[in-house]
Amino acid sequence: MDTRYVKKTLYCCYSLYILENCEIRTICNLPDNVFAKAGHLSTILLGRKSKRDIKTTYLRIPKNKIDHFKNTYQADVEVVERNTFYEAKGYSFRIPELKEVWDYCTHFPKLKEYVEIGRGIEYKSGLDIDDIMRHTQFAGSKLGFYCYEEDTLIERLPTLVWLNVSEKTVNTYAKGMICQPFILLNRIRSSRTPWRLRAWIDFEGHPCGKAFLTVVSSKKISLYAIWALLNSPFANAYTYDHCTAQDNNEGILKNIPVNLEYNDLSKIDSLAKEYFSLDSEEYAFRDIQSLNEDKMQCLLAIDAEILRLYNLPPRLEKKLLDFFEGVQRRGVAFKFERYYPAGFDSYIPLNIFISEEFKHSTVENITKWVEENRTPAVIEALKKATEDFQGE
């Protein structure tokens, strides 16, 4: 019998027993490396054996707020009904932090309706690394991807090596033998932060090892659009909020809500192509600071277009983007730690916030315009407008 199935069954039984026989007063989620001998994420449950039906205080302490919690014992708190745990899959005590966002998107199709996701090549156990990959060509080898490299940018590709693809060494090819353009995705998480995913476009189609997942478009959705989606804050937050394991689970990825098929994706395609072009030789001699600024603005525009597909209420979109506040984005060569300035509390959708119209509508710009255009006619017009407003 599959040990994973046994573990899941036992977990469900234990969780159900606790729900039926205990009152859970507090659940406190902690980040990794909080305790001296525990490098993984930790959760503390406080309760007692009792049949009383009480609400549970649910605390979340992310990595970037752990010092504040240590000093003040203050954290983001949510009060949860017991039924919430009964309704969770496997009677889980884990509640996604952005549950309100995911509930809003339940009516959208899932990513699996547009793409096929699979694992890379699994090799037989007991092999030396030289039997699997080398930096020079050898019998039975093909150029492909084997190692996930932390510093690989999303507009480039991991290092190509010569992979042994002969049947003597391979346990299962899975979806690792690709002979067409596809999206290469890291199976090992990119970091412990919400930026878990890093997607690349392989325009040629190379084999890859088990450190990667392969994503192939099945409904003529462009690879640029899929690349933009998988690198977006939406896909990263969804994966982080649903996946507790170190690996990016393909089953969770397949269920990412999407809204691709009946929307115009041409702007996303053109922006993605522009982002790739900024890494070309044409821009190799440009000032690195201004080039990175252009890349950041282009990436912001891509993220904004992806979010427009979901048409989230402004409050929920702001909540989603604030999820990444203070966390450095992975796969980029420039500083990208937030979408909105620190302390910005207005619910402004990202596509509006980064628009030229919004940038020019600041108090400073309006004041500057008034000073530059302070003529008797303008003063009289403003005076009349004020009188009319007060008259109402």
In tens, the pLDDT along 116-153 reads 999 999 999 999 999 999 999 999 999 999 998 888 99
Among 127-141, 150-164, 189-203, 362-376, the range scoring the smallest mean pLDDT is 362-376
Cα three-residue angle 275-280-282, rounded to 5 degrees:
115
For residue 118, the SS3 value is strand
Mean pLDDT of 313-330: 95
Mean pLDDT of 48-65: 83
- The region that residue 205 occupies, defined by phi over 0 for left and psi between -120 and 50 for alpha, beta otherwise, is left
Confidence of residue 262 (pLDDT cuts 50, 70, 90): confident
pLDDT at residue 52 greater than cutoff 90: no
Whole-Å CA distances, 14 to 28, 43, 54, 80: 19, 16, 19, 20
Which pLDDT belongs to residue 17? 85
Mean pLDDT of 50-79: 83
User: Amino acid letter at 95?
Assistant: I
Q: What percent of the chain has pLDDT over 70?
A: 91
Cα three-residue angle 250-185-231, rounded to 5 degrees:
100
Gyration radius (Cα) of the chain, Å: 25
Q: What is the DSSP string of 154-170?
A: TTS-PPPEEEE--TTTE
Q: Taking a C-beta distance cutoff of 8 angstroms, is the pair 121, 132 a contact? A: no
Burial (Cβ within 10 Å: 0-12, 13-18, ≥19) of residue 205: middle
Q: List the one residue out of 204, 199, 201 whose CA is nearest residue 223.
A: 201
pLDDT at residue 366 greater than cutoff 60: no
Confidence of residue 32 (pLDDT cuts 50, 70, 90): confident
Q: Taking a C-beta distance cutoff of 8 angstroms, is the pair 84, 347 a contact? A: no
Structural domains in the chain, CATH included, are: 3-95 (no CATH), 111-261 (3.90.220.20), 270-347 (no CATH)
Mean pLDDT of 322-335: 94
Q: How does DSSP classify residue 63?
A: G
Which pLDDT belongs to residue 271? 97
Among 2-6, 51-55, 242-246, the range scoring the smallest mean pLDDT is 2-6
Mean pLDDT of 303-326: 95
Confidence of residue 193 (pLDDT cuts 50, 70, 90): confident
CA dihedral 269, 329, 106, 113 (to 10 degrees): 40
Q: What is the DSSP string of 290-349?
A: HHHHHHHHHHHHHHHHHHHHHT--HHHHHHHHHTTTT-PPTT-SS----SS-TT--S---
User: Amino acid letter at 318?
Assistant: K
**Between these two residues, 291 and 261, which has the higher pLDDT value?**
291
Among 21-25, 61-65, 296-300, the range scoring the smallest mean pLDDT is 61-65
Predicted structure pTM score: 0.84
Q: List the one residue out of 116, 160, 113 whose CA is nearest residue 141.
A: 160
Dihedral sign for Cα 300, 301, 304, 309, please. negative
For residue 75, the SS3 value is coil
Whole-Å CA distances, 178 to 184, 218, 362: 10, 14, 50
CB atoms within 10 A of CB 130: 9
Residue where the block lists tokens 């993984």: 40
Burial (Cβ within 10 Å: 0-12, 13-18, ≥19) of residue 274: middle
pLDDT at residue 363 greater than cutoff 60: no
361, two tokens:
């509508």
In the predicted model, what is the mean pLDDT of the chain? 88
Confidence of residue 364 (pLDDT cuts 50, 70, 90): low
Confidence of residue 295 (pLDDT cuts 50, 70, 90): very high
Mean pLDDT of 211-229: 94
Q: What percent of the chain has pLDDT over 90?
A: 56
For residue 4, the SS3 value is helix
Pairing mode of beta strands 22-30, 56-60: parallel
User: Amino acid letter at 70?
Assistant: K
User: Amino acid letter at 67?
Assistant: D
**Between these two residues, 336 and 77, which has the higher pLDDT value?**
336
At 99, which helix (H) or strand (E)? helix 99-104
For residue 19, the SS3 value is helix
User: Amino acid letter at 291?
Assistant: L
Which pLDDT belongs to residue 39? 66
pLDDT at residue 373 greater than cutoff 90: no
Q: Taking a C-beta distance cutoff of 8 angstroms, is the pair 210, 177 a contact? A: no
Which pLDDT belongs to residue 267? 96
